[in-house]
Structure 1
Amino acid sequence: MSSDAREWVWEHSSSRGNARLVLLSIADRVSDEQFVSWASLSSLAKRTNASLSTVRESLDRLVDAGELERLDDLIGPQRSTVFRLPLAAKASAEAAMEQGEDAGQTSGEEPGTSATLRVSALRWCGIRPREVPESPAKARKPAVPETGRSRRKPAQRRTGNRHSDVPATGTQNRSEPDLNRRYSSSGAAVTSAAEWQVDPATHTWTRQQGHLDRLGEQGLQAADAKWRAHRSEHTPRPADAWAVDWRSWIAREHAPSRPNLHAMPGKNSAAPGGMTRAEAHTAALLAALDEPTGMEG
């Protein structure tokens, strides 16, 4: 019957261009007098030498014109789409009815109507009913019955404070006071440079290293005062950190008898205090680095 379908397209179809080529390709696969055919988008694009978008647009035009019908409840070989040429099938039925009347045969159907599709007659060419998937509601697991015990044990509901030894409000670490910051999170005491006091071990260190003999008692006190002045704006530290910093300062401190090193070269041709030019340059570098020279006070 494919020849009858192609002849109908050539003689009676109003399609043009790519739509006509698509319809002819579908008509070429008509299997019987029901004018049912199957095709996929890729095969139609290959046979008509057109793009997939062009084939889709042509199919939509043919369906809108009534010359093509998609049978969504059927599926073809390799899950292809099943089509039907309704106008061609109607014309073929009318022609068969006229031939039957001429031969003296009568039919119970009205002229121009088409018979119901016989799906069983299409199975030989691979066309079969589409399997209807199970509804999502039935596919899901059955709901838990309203009565009866749930499989999952509900979590025990807790009331009140879980930890009786932890206060509900306030600081959680008991070693930290609420108002001051004299204790760090690690528990080590911190203090400012002005509040830090020279511990006995550090005082013994000044004698063992010879700094007390080199600076003298007054020079050591002057160096200590100068260190506190320079460290006054530093953040609080533990006592051990201040001790290390204080010892480093004292070790770099010069004896009070050393000439003033803060004289800047260039302001006076003669170096003050008997300083050589090299000593004056060194003093300028130390002043730029803000290094203690022993004569700041």
Structure 2
Amino acid sequence: MSSAARDWAWKHSSSRGTARLVLLSIADRVADEQCIAWASLASLAERTNASRSTVREALDRLLAAGELEQLNDLIGPRRSTVYRLPLAARAVTEAARQMEADDAAAPTDEPAEAAMALRVSALRQCGIRPRGVPDSPPTSGKPAGPESGTRRRKPVPRRTGNRHNGVPETGTQNRSEPELIRRYSSGGAAVTSAAEWQVDPATHAWARQQGHLDRLGEEGLQAADAKWRAHRAHFKPRTAAAWAADWRSWVAREHAPGRPNLYAVLGKGPAQPGGMTRAEAHTAALLAALEEPTGTE
């Protein structure tokens, strides 16, 4: 019977916009010729894709226009509101009376108001009952689901208290925990600062095999190590392997004691004579290196 109510809403309703969508949503739930249906504000907002305040305004416009009637004496499932489409119900009733008159070949004397009287007993099968009357249990033995037709899930009880006994909910477990976090990375490798890192035997053997120990000498290697630690003093902690790789790269670039720095630039090395350009400073350093005795003269 909802098709007759929908047809009337499509063809004869003067509503527009959201009000028309709300009326069609209610008409879609009509179960019999009385054009009565129940709907909640949340379900109408979901069906029309509108906010609840917009749906309320649309309902007020439909009630003021007389195309919708709110039956306060009745209540639907889950205490939802019951509505009636009075103009659609009148049109359906008149069409039915006309068909009966044509079949009987004699007009009926029953007034239209009497034919439109509510039959509450016929509405109980739709879950509509008089207000104050408790809802009867479903005949199938299963609880009624939500309006959308999906199964209602039992809410999961919220957990109270701490799941793990003896473990604090906030803060660190002990005073040494921040120190442990700093000294060990997420992968489990130990990290330390440049000042705490010590040259391991493998790194020292590398310096000897690569010829850096012979080139710099023991004192030169110690000087390079001290310079490296001074430059890495403010670096973030790293793993021992990372410091070893960085130390090797530094030593490989370190110059032998007394050898001029051919890559010196103004402001980065020893003070250059005033007025010299960068090219002149590089040329002077190159000439000084060429004039340095090699011991083969």
Q: With the length of structure 2 as denominator, give the TM-score of the two structures.
A: 0.43
Q: With the length of structure 1 as denominator, give the TM-score of the two structures.
A: 0.43
